[in-house]
Every structure is written in C-alpha cells, then in structure tokens.
Amino acid sequence: MKKLRYFKIFLVLFFVLGTSGIYAQSTYIPIESRNNVLVLQADNGRVPRIVYFGKKLQNKEEYSKVAGMCNQGDDYSGILNAAYTPSGTHNLVEPALSVTHADGNTSLDLHYVSYETKPIDDNVTQTSILLKDPVYPFEVTLFYKVYKNDDVIEQWTAIRHQEKGAVTLHKFASANLYLKADNFWLKQFHGDWAKEMQPEESKLTHGIKVLDSKLGTRADLYQPPVFMISLNQPANEDDGKVLYGCLEWSGNFRIDLELDPLNNLRIIAGINNHASEYALQPNEEFTTPAFLYTFSDKGKGDASLKLQRWARNYRILNGNGNRLTLLNNWESTFFNFDEAKLKQLLKETKKLGVDLFLLDDGWFGNTFPRNNDKAGLGDWQENKRKLPNGIASLVKEARANDVKFGIWLEPEMVNPVSQLYFKHPEWVIKQPQRPEHLYRNQLVLDLSNPQVQDFIFNTIDSLFIKNPGLAYIKWDCNAVIYNAYSTHLDKQSHLYIAYVEGLYRVLARIRAKYPEVPMMLCSGGGGRVDYAALKYFTEFWPSDNTDPLERVYIQWEYSYFYPAIATSNHITDWGKQPLKFKADVAMMGKLGFDIATEKLNETDLKFCQQTVVSYNGFKEIVWHGDQFRLVSPWNSDFASLMYVNADKTSAVMFNYLVNNRYSAGSKVAVPLKGLDAGKKYRVQEINLYPGTKSAGGLNAVYSGDFLMTVGLNPRVNSNRASVVLKIDEVK
Ligand code: DGJ
C-alpha cells in the first residue's frame, strides 16, 4: 500500500515537473525569427509538444518556464499540444497523421529522436526534427524553414517507413500548431465566380471548424487556402496579435481549427485527405506541401508587410522585377475577332502607351473552331479562318508597332467537342460508367498522366519555338474536377494529389526552359491563387469582376496576403463608376486595359493615355514599396491606401468613395504611414481627369511628422469619387 502511495507521488511529481519544464531530460527547441519564437519541448519517449508561440523572449532560458505559468487543467493524454499529432494510440483529438500499417494495425505514436538547425543563408535557417514510432519502422521529419527578418515560417513534413508493404496514409498534414489565448477570432474568406475573397470574421467556438476545398482544380472557387487568427480580440491594422496562414498547394486543402478542452487552439493544415488515401511504399518518402505562416503582435498591417515582403523576395517569380502593362481583348471582342481586328488592336496598344497586347481565348481550333466556349478547347492550332497567317504574323505586327505580344491558354482542359477529346478520351478525367458532368462545357485533362504532361509542355514549348517573340502567357483554368477518375492510375485515391504534382512538373519544365517569360495565373478569375503556384507565375488575376467599386473590396482583401506587384488589375466596362475611378483602382497593382479603346471618345482616350504615363511615374513604388491600408471601405464612406518606397522618399496614396449617400465623403484628415517624420514632402494630386482641378489646399509641402500625425484629407466626395496623391520628398 505504502509503495503504491510513493509510486503515485512519484508519478504526480514526474508529470508536474515534466509539464512545467523543470524535468531535467527536456530539450527545448526554439524556432526563432526576428520577433517571434515557436518553442517545442522534446523529451525522449514522447511526442514533441508546443509550449510557446508568440513574441520572442529576451532570455532563452525562460522558455522552459512558460508551460508552468498555465493553469488550464489536465488534458489527460499530455498530447493536446503535440507538434504533430498521431492517431490510434492515446490521442483523442484531431490528428495530423493517421495511418494503417502494412500489417493492418492502425496505431501510431511519434517519439522525439533528435533535431538539427542549420543555416541556409544570412536570413534563412531550417530546423528538422526526427520522430519515430517506437513499435513500427515508421518515421516522420518535421521541417521548419524560418525567414528571420520576415518573421515567416514554412513548415512541412516528410513521412517514410520500412515496413513489409505499403502503409496507407489516411491523413497527412503539413503542420500542426498550438496557440494559447483567452479566445480566438478567425478571419476566413469565401466566394464564387466574380465574388472572390469575401471576408467573414468570427469568434471560434469549441469543436472543429474546417476550411477546405474538394474541387480538385480551381480549388479556391468557394474558399481560398488563406486565413488569419487573432488572439484575444480581432486584431486591427495597427494593434493585436495575429497569425496569417496559407497552405502552399494548388489543389484540395484542409485546415482544421480545433478549440480544445483546455480552450487552446489546435491548427492542423495540409492537403485535404478527402478521397485521397495515399499508399506509401517502403522507403518512399511522402513530402507534404508547406504551410506558410507569419505572426505579428502589431496588428494586421505589420503581418501583411511581412508576408508581402517575403513573397517579393522569396516566392513570386521575379518578385522584385518589372511588369508589363497591357491591353487585353477579352472583354472587347470575346471570341469574335480576326487578323484584321487584332492588327487594329495592336495599333491601339501602341496608341494607349502600354507594353503588350494580350490575345485572349478564341484563337485556336479548326475542325471544332473556338467561336464560343462550347468547342475547340484542347486543339491548340491557330484557327485558319480567324488567323490565316498564324500567331507569327501577329508577333511580327506587334514588333512593327513596338509593342510585345502575349497569348491566352487553358492547357489543362478540354471541350468534349474537340479533336483532342476524340483522339485521347483516355486523357480525360471522368468516370467510365457515369454520365459526364461538364463545367463551362469542359472537362479536365488527367495531369497525373506523363503523356498529358508532355502534351501540355509541348503545346507551350512549340508556341515559343514557332514564335520566339512571344512575351507573355495568361494561363487559365476554368473547370473543377467532377467524376474524379484516371485511366492512368491504379490507385484512384492518388488522383487529386498526382494531378497537382503533375501540374507542378509541367510548370517546372516550362520554367527550366523559359525562366523569365511573365505568366499570369488565372482561373476564371481568382479560382487558383496560392503561394505554391506563384513560384511559377509573375502575377495573378484576382477576379473577372472588374467593377471598380467591387474591386476596391476584393483588392483590399487580397492585399492582406499578396503584394500589389502580383495583382493584375484591368480597366474594363464593368461598373457604373467614372473612367477615372476605374483607372485609379486598376493602378493599385499591375495595370492593364480590357476595353474597346477605339470606341473611347477623345477625352477618355487622352485620359487613358495619361493614366499610363502617371502609372509609369510611380509604378515602382506600388510594385516594390510597402503597402499601408489606411481607411477600410468596410466601415467608412471611403477607402484609403498608400504605398511607400524603401527609402521613404516617395509615396502614392489612393482614395475611393464607396458610399453613394448624400454628403458621403472624407470629412477628416487621414494620418499617413510609413513616411519619415523628419523629411519634408510635396503632396500633389495626380491623374486628374482632363479639364478638372484638384481640391484647393491639398497640393502643398508638409513635414512627414504632420502627414503621419495629422494627415491629409483627400477631399473625396461625389464630385471627386477617386483621388490619387503623389507624395515626394523635397530637400
Ligand atoms: C476566364 C478568365 O478569367 C477571363 O479573363 C477570360 O480569359 C476567359 N476565361 C476566357 O475564356
């Protein structure tokens, strides 16, 4: 009896000391960036646990004391805060990894073995943590790639085993995080065609909230893989603790947000395991995509600055380079054009002053000409009737007009009314015994099949070979995957993953051969915007909705996660706002036109030409500078945003009226951000519509201190619905 009591006391001491961090055997693994740290406690014989995530402490020794400061009760299993939660043993909450072993057993435990942190360069370090199952020859490595100055982490997992046969992975997350706070606020996004990035912010309740996609391709149509979590209260632009998360994957994703019995938040993010069980062969390594996150205790503005900088420096193709302004023919001609018309548009391109003409959908297909969206997709030969002299003559004509030429493709998809479909029905994703279900009259090609990958690569390669002057690609993707089935794969549950891997293989081949050519990532609008695809693309198309009033909101929401240099914005006929409003909104990113310029009256044309000149004057600031969201359109009559260059010598401020009610407008000054208080700046309203004047009293010299303390009233009202102010240092 006495012995049992001592044993119980020993157990209690072991547990209390263990969880309080005083336990001598504990290893603390601090994964540090410039301002933040993720601390894991790793004990031999246990799964590593997250004991702290947030602002860095000055003294590393004190990380071991953090856990002891919490008095949240007992989680019984000691595993709620696992750094990577296994299933089938003592875990009873949502797992990160769940498997069936080769012998049919479903239990998994992952014990800490070792860790290593190695520098990659001055700014980047990578920590890897090895975990092993004590019973099965099954192991996992957790990777944390830290971009120190950006406070950004990419986290992923490699899974492998040496069992006697395949192990089935039922769930295989990229990352597992654990946050402690009084409560948690989720900002998530939903949407549809022309309604991308609709935000919702709500307090998380107990249980699991899942953000996911099961669409296969065009995976973000209803929900993108980005979200933010505010701790304690919704963060605003300048205050509050907030985590931004993004899964780097262009297919089905799943993000579990589980508020656990101890009131802490478990985040598990990865590929969606829906219909995707993976048979992992012995010694094969399954590497998950990375989950990307940044944390700030200074609000959403700071978190965005970090992510946008990271994206420019490390992810978006040519993120610190230049972009081409363009004229696109989609909205002005749709499928109805011929060579003469396009040659006319090439002249218009020159007249407008933009860099490139982009030929959109409808240039291909002969047996089944692409005269509408019902036929021709997949037959990538120039339509002889529309383009008797081929793309080559257009590229030549573009050169003669001193502009560049780009082209639209939707290489992953096929219309059943096409030669490709008749020639290669086995290349199409569809259930063999069920009726086809079309999306925009089309089906998806099976990119898990290397033959299909070759076909897509060769289609694009031969376009470049035949037309070396081709300067730009718009890569569209309009259909989702229905009736998921591949004639190429033995294991159908591998299709969703193999598709995305096949897509990346094609993109990597294109980039190996054509590293620089700018490409726009488009998916019937913003149906595929993510940080895995953006490795191969210079920009993305946020939405087919180019109504400038809608765009103020859509671009505002994208800007939390993506920099302006990657955001293509076109001036079109959508919306009721004046042309100036449209132009000013489109300039907050990568400017383009998609209007019938030949139909513009003289003043409108002059204004468009002036817009290109104005834009060329400050585009470097928008592309490479820091962005600040100043006044939200969601809770004001107007929206204000600004961009500031790196040395704080130039800035540009955009202001838009978003409310039509009587006397709506900017009533008080808007304090600016990101300037140098000690400098003096000249403020000047630019891009005025011909014949209009700036509001009195705005154009003057102010100190940076004044501009950031008192601010500027852009004098937005119904007569001045959009106002652009250029701010330049004066010495
Ligand atoms: C959808 C894209 O979002 C549009 O910009 C346009 O390229 C059409 N597809 C063409 O079919």
Greater confidence, 170 or 73? 170
Distance 361 CA to ligand 1 centre (A): 7
Look at ligand 1, atom 9, and give the residue with the nearest C-alpha. Answer: 524
Alpha-carbon span 204 to 288, nearest angstrom: 27
Residue 25: its pLDDT value, please? 65
- The pick from 415, 544, 554, 569 for probing ligand 1's pocket by mutation, whose C-beta has the most ligand atoms within 8 angstroms, reads 544
Q: Is 525 in the pocket of ligand 1 (CB under 6 A)?
A: yes
Kindly give the number of the ligand 1 atom that is closest to the alpha carbon of 594. Answer: 5
Name the pLDDT band for 70 (thresholds 50, 70, 90). Answer: confident
Query: What ligand 1 atom has the least distance to the C-alpha of 474?
Result: 7
Q: Is the pLDDT of residue 3 over 70?
A: no
Query: How many A from CA of 626 to the centre of ligand 1?
Result: 30
Distance 623 CA to ligand 1 centre (A): 24
Q: How far is the CA of 475 from the centre of ligand 1 (A)?
A: 9
Is 478 a pocket residue for ligand 1 (Cβ < 6 Å)? yes
CA 391 – CA 363 distance, rounded (Å)? 9
Q: Is 524 in the pocket of ligand 1 (CB under 6 A)?
A: yes
Q: Which residue, chain included where needed, has tokens 């089906």?
A: 443
| CATH architecture, domain 627-729 | Sandwich (2.60)
Q: What residue type is assigned to position 429 of the chain?
A: I
pLDDT tens digits along 352-410: 999 999 999 999 999 999 999 999 999 999 999 999 999 999 999 999 999 999 999 99
Q: Within a 10 A sphere around the Cβ of 1, how many other Cβ atoms?
A: 4
Return the pLDDT at 8. 44
Confidence of residue 283 (pLDDT cuts 50, 70, 90): very high
Give the tens place of pLDDT for each residue, 288-324. 999 999 999 999 999 999 999 999 999 999 999 999 9
Residue 207 pLDDT greater than 60, yes or no: yes
> Is the pLDDT confidence value at 107 over 50?
yes
- Looking at residue 232, its pLDDT comes to 98
Q: How many angstroms is it from 476 CA to the middle of ligand 1?
A: 7
Cβ 408 under 6 angstroms from ligand 1: yes
- Please tell me the predicted confidence (pLDDT) of residue 15: 40
pLDDT of residue 21: 38
The structure tokens listed for 451 are: 């033959």
Mean of pLDDT over the chain: 95
Q: Which residues neighbour 148 within 8 Å (Cβ) at sequence distance 6 or greater?
A: 32, 33, 34, 123, 124, 125
**Which residues of the chain does CATH 2.70.98.60 include?**
25-315
Calculate how far, in angstroms, residue 595's C-alpha sits from the geometric centre of ligand 1. Answer: 14
d(C-alpha 410, C-alpha 11), whole Å: 63
Of ligand 1's listed atoms, the one at least distance from the Cα of 525 is: 3
Average confidence (pLDDT) over 641-653:
98
| Arithmetic mean of pLDDT, 42-60 | 94
Q: Is the CB of 522 under 6 A from ligand 1?
A: yes
Tell me which of 328, 439, 522, 572 to substitute to probe ligand 1's pocket, judged by most ligand atoms within 8 Å of the beta carbon: 522
Q: Is the CB of 331 under 6 A from ligand 1?
A: no
Residue 713 has pLDDT above 90, yes or no: yes
Q: Could you tell me where in the chain the CATH 3.20.20.70 domains are found?
A: 326-517
Whether the CB-CB separation of 695 and 627 falls below 8 Å is answered with no
Distance 327 CA to ligand 1 centre (A): 14
Closest ligand 1 atom number to CA of residue 522: 3
Q: Specify the residue with its C-alpha closest to ligand 1, atom 4.
A: 524
Report whether 21 contacts 41 (CB < 8 A).
Answer: yes
Please name the fold of domain 326-517. TIM Barrel (3.20.20)
d(CA 218, ligand 1 centre) in Å: 13
482 lines ligand 1 (CB under 6 A): no
Q: Whose CA is nearest to atom 3 of ligand 1?
A: 524
Nearest residue CA, atom 10 of ligand 1? 361
Q: Within the chain, which residue ranges are assigned CATH 2.60.40.1180?
A: 627-729
pLDDT grade for 74, boundaries at 50, 70 and 90: confident
Lowest mean pLDDT among 51-65, 416-430, 682-696: 51-65
Are 266 and 243 contacting, i.e. CB atoms less than 8 angstroms apart?
A: no
Instruction: Pinpoint the alpha helices (H) of 587-703.
Output: 602-624
Ligand 1 within 6 A of 294 CB? no
Per-residue pLDDT of 581-613, as tens digits, reads 999 999 999 999 999 999 999 999 999 999 999
Pocket perturbation via mutation, ligand 1, pick of 193, 476, 478 by most ligand atoms within 8 A of CB: 476
Over the Cα atoms of the chain, what is R_g? 28
Q: What whole-number distance in Å separates Cα of residue 258 and Cα of residue 480?
A: 29
Nearest-atom number in ligand 1 for the CA of 544 is 3
Residue 605, token pair as written in the block: 């044309």
Instruction: Look at residue 677 and give its three-state secondary structure.
Output: coil
Q: Report whether 187 contacts 228 (CB < 8 A).
A: yes
Closest CA to 416 of 375, 473, 359, 367: 375
On the question of pLDDT at 549 being above 60, the answer is: yes
Calculate how far, in angstroms, residue 196's C-alpha sits from the geometric centre of ligand 1. 15
Maximum CA extent, the chain? 100
How many CA atoms lie within 13 Å of 308's alpha carbon, on the beta-carbon side? 26
Q: Report in angstroms the alpha-carbon separations of 257 from 52, 546, 644, 705.
A: 18, 33, 35, 42
What's the average model confidence in pLDDT over 339-350?
A: 98
> Is the beta carbon of 196 within 6 A of some atom in ligand 1?
no
**What pLDDT score does 185 carry?**
98
The fold of the 25-315 domain, in CATH, is: Beta-galactosidase; Chain A, domain 5 (2.70.98)
| CA 360 / ligand 1 centre spacing (Å) | 7
Are 175 and 155 within 8 A, CB to CB? Answer: yes
CA distances from 98 to 86, 162, 272 (A): 6, 17, 13
Inform me whether the pLDDT recorded for 346 exceeds 60.
Answer: yes
Could you give the percent of the chain with pLDDT greater than 90?
Answer: 94
pTM of the predicted structure, to 2 decimals: 0.96
- What average pLDDT does range 496-521 have in this prediction? 98
Instruction: Summarize the confidence of residues 417-440 as an average pLDDT.
Output: 98
